[in-house]
Amino acid sequence: MAVELEDLTKTYDSGAGVVTALDGVTTHFAEGTFTAVMGPSGSGKSTLLHCAAGLESPSSGAVTIAGIRLSDLGETALTRLRRDRVGFVFQDFNLVSSLTAAQNVALPIRLAGRRADDALVRAALTEVGLGDRAGHRPRELSGGQQQRVAIARALFTRPAVLFADEPTGALDNRTSHQVLELLRGLVDRHGRTVVMVTHDPVAAAVADRVVLLVDGRITDELTGVDAAGVADRMTALERA
């Protein structure tokens, strides 16, 4: 199993009182599968992704990535696991504007004090269809191409799972489609594991499974549905 979540809770104690962002989430993400996480605004989607990726620690419950229980790790081991076993992409790409695509892909490895092999960097860019853009800086690339560089960077260490928080949120329909096709292909052809938060039923329908979150709880799971089916379910949820 790539990722297992066991009775996860997460509460935030802000000035205005305690907010329960996750309220007993148990699920798993199998290797070589593509899962979409959907739900109304504030339902806990980003919190779920951050806890599952080890970016935030849950208030209770357990996260296991590739058989390693995160709560068993000290700070150094957790940092290493996050760097080597977890990939993360964001809505706004988070590339360094002064660096080329190749340098962006190599950056996490270099920050870890290691050398990134040029041929491997080029292979990572080729895997996302950008083998000929290695020397381009982000401003010389389209939004979709920038997101593909971010995906190449996230996958460079061959992580057990790629988490994506609204990866197509800043892209137009056509470019979104290309990024979703890429993610689908990474799962189908390379056996990667992808977990993606999205608001878009069209994006969710590309996944194998759609997990629906409401008020920090998983209320439903859909498989084999098209975009209209996902949209209908979301509309029903919002009316409920």
Ligand X SMILES: Nc1ncnc2c1ncn2[C@@H]1O[C@H](COP(=O)(O)OP(=O)(O)OP(=O)(O)O)[C@@H](O)[C@H]1O
Please tell me whether residue 16 binds ligand X under the rule CB under 6 A.
Answer: no
Rank residues 99 and 231 by Cβ distance to ligand X and give the closer one: 231
Residue whose CB is less far from ligand X, 137 or 217:
217
Distance (Å, whole) CA 203 – CA 178? 11
Among the listed ranges 14-22, 99-107, 134-142, 228-236, the one in contact with ligand X (CB under 6 A) is 14-22
Task: Choose between 44 and 58: whose C-beta lies nearer to ligand X.
Answer: 44
Residue 31 CB: number of other CB atoms within 10 A? 14
Least Å distance, CB 10 to ligand X, is 8
201 binds ligand X (CB under 6 A): no
Among 9, 46, 59, 178, binds ligand X (CB under 6 A): 46
CA atoms within 13 A on the CB side of 180: 24
**Which residue in 27, 35, 43, 198 binds ligand X (CB under 6 A)?**
43
Tokens of 128: 């996302």
Closer residue to ligand X in complex, CB, 48/141:
48
Q: Is 44 in the site for ligand X (CB under 6 A)?
A: yes
Name the segment binding ligand X (CB under 6 A); options: 41-49, 106-114, 142-150, 221-229: 41-49
* Signed CA dihedral, 50, 99, 180, 182: sign only: negative
Binding ligand X by CB under 6 A: which of 21, 106, 116, 128?
21
**First-last CA distance in the chain:** 33
Q: For the CB of residue 21, give the shortest distance to ligand X in the complex, in Å.
A: 3
Nearer to ligand X, 19 or 107 (CB): 19
| Binding site residues, ligand X, CB under 6 A | 12, 14, 19, 21, 39, 41-47
